[in-house]
A and B are shown apart, each in its own frame.
Chain A
Amino acid sequence: MNNLLKLARTPPVVVSQETSVANAMRKMVRCGVGAAAVVDRGRAIGIFTERDAVARVLLEERSPWTTPVGEVMTAPLLFVGPDADLHEARSIMIIKGIRHLPVVDRDGKVLGMLSLRHLMAEEIDDLEHEVETLAAYEARDSIGG
């Protein structure tokens, strides 16, 4: 498993495009996630987020029980392949201002979901590593000064 998938949520929360908005929301709340990947016969076609739920369902007064998620999802889907670099994924999310980025293989299968929270965990690891390195460096006796 590469670095990106080690960091991402696997398996991701996935719903089919015919799923009702209410069922998709329930699944997201139960799993404690802010987005679900939407698939059509197993292939990724979009993403359904909390933003879509409030903006396109609540504000536009659609019924969550009868509206299929495919009607209110965000599409086309912005994603990265499993071999993408973490820095590349981070740049996409920060520059595009998105909170979730699915990891999708060549066949359209959703392998994982990367969120800002995962990037934050990575950032904390990096900071801790930096502090340890600096501490080790400072503790070292050096003749060079």
Chain B
Amino acid sequence: MSADLKQLAGQLRLKALELYKMANAGHIGCSLSCMDLMIGSLVRQKRPTESFILSKGHAAASLYTCLNYLGEISDETLLTFYQNGTTLPAHPAPNKHAGIPFATGSLGHGLPIATGIANANRLMGQDDLTFVLMSDGETNEGTTWEALHFAVANRLDRLVVLVDRNRLQGFGYTEDILGDSAAPHKFEAIGADVTEIDGHDIPLIIATIDTLRDRRDGRPKVVVANTVKGKGVSYMENRMEWHYLPMSADLYEQAREEVLQAYPQP
């Protein structure tokens, strides 16, 4: 990975850790899991007229830190995360910032919404991509499959569904809850164009989206990105409890040090 992307992946992780520590809040593992996907898509690939929906709204800090990096959320506003009267609650609130036009976090809403956006763009003859980032646990929701059928039937090949497949959901391994509901062949069976990648390889994420951007074959694009929940902090990695836990002062310091080690900052 190029030094600047690696540095950015570390910089935004540190910012997210800082926000969660300040708020004494959970959902850290969820944000670290999808941070590289967010950088590859929202930060590096999304064009100004394109839409990005974070369907797994509980990873809000990853969205806020990326939008902050893009200049859409000020440093001052970012620090109000979780506070009374904030525009940046634990789950994204709609219409407070240009980059967040829909309420998400109640799972299973993002894909139908993004499908509608992609359909609107098709109607208007626009070539814009519509990105939606889902969790693998979220694919338990039936709307995933309803929306995908619609997207296939309407040939929405400008829809890019990014699935953060960290194999852990709220209270267990996805495999143990309902089986692997985000397995690539399930999307393929419906007629999507599926690419399975390493969800922490940012250059690969960017290159994959480049390829999909040029593939106008009528098939909606699904990127099943294999990820590690809590990526970058050893004690959080692949640990279900870091869906919820806040960090103690010691653990916060350890997390910062590990991120600095793994993602060197200038």
Do A and B share a complex? Answer: no
